[in-house]
Amino acid sequence: MASLMDNLIGVLEEENTQYQALIDLGNEKRTAIVGGDVASLEKITDKEQDVASLLRNLDIKRDAILKDMADVLGKNFEEMTITKLIGYLDKQPNEQERLSEIRTKILVTGKEMQDCNLRNEKLLQQALEMVEFDLTLFKSMRQAPETANYNKQAYNTGDILPNSGFDAKQ
């Protein structure tokens, strides 16, 4: 059981490290979003995909260890969680404390990552709104004035001006 506990804590610590790496990438992403650096955003997204792949592998490894621990303890794997495992370790206070500490670290890191993602989501939404505004502005700059621009049925034609943006001939 001790080797399973060491393996589990090792996997959880590595997961925490990878989540911390995602936070760092999220902060880089924020800088790229604010600066409008699309090339950097692509690179950061590729790095995030690599970290997500590592996290998926660690998740599978953690589940395998928890399954083995559930078998040793005679518990149902489907109901096994880190919190419940901490409760099962009453007679092993050192392991219980180590597991509680890493659980707390992961929860704090997860909250920090969630906050970072929410900030980046808001920045991206604002960037999209700004692009939409710019497109609308450019489109309206090329439209003819709204006054006296009607067809025979008295509907506004919304004519587009020529490329120069002026209607006068020289």
Q: Residue 2's pLDDT is what?
A: 76
43: containing domain? 2-142
Does residue 69 fall inside a structural domain? Answer: yes
Average of per-residue pLDDT across 130-142: 82
Q: How confident is the model at residue 152 (pLDDT cuts 50, 70, 90)?
A: confident
Which of 60, 63, 65, 59 is closest to 7 using CA atoms? 65
Q: What is the CATH number of the domain that holds 24?
A: 1.20.58
Type of residue at 64: A
Q: Which amino acid is at 76?
A: N
Is there a domain that residue 10 lies in? yes
pLDDT at 66: 92
Number of structural domains the chain divides into = 1
Q: Would residue 73 count as lying in a domain?
A: yes
Query: What is the pTM (predicted TM-score) of this model?
Result: 0.75
pLDDT over threshold 60, residue 144: no
- Examine residue 79 and state whether it is found in any structural domain, yes or no: yes
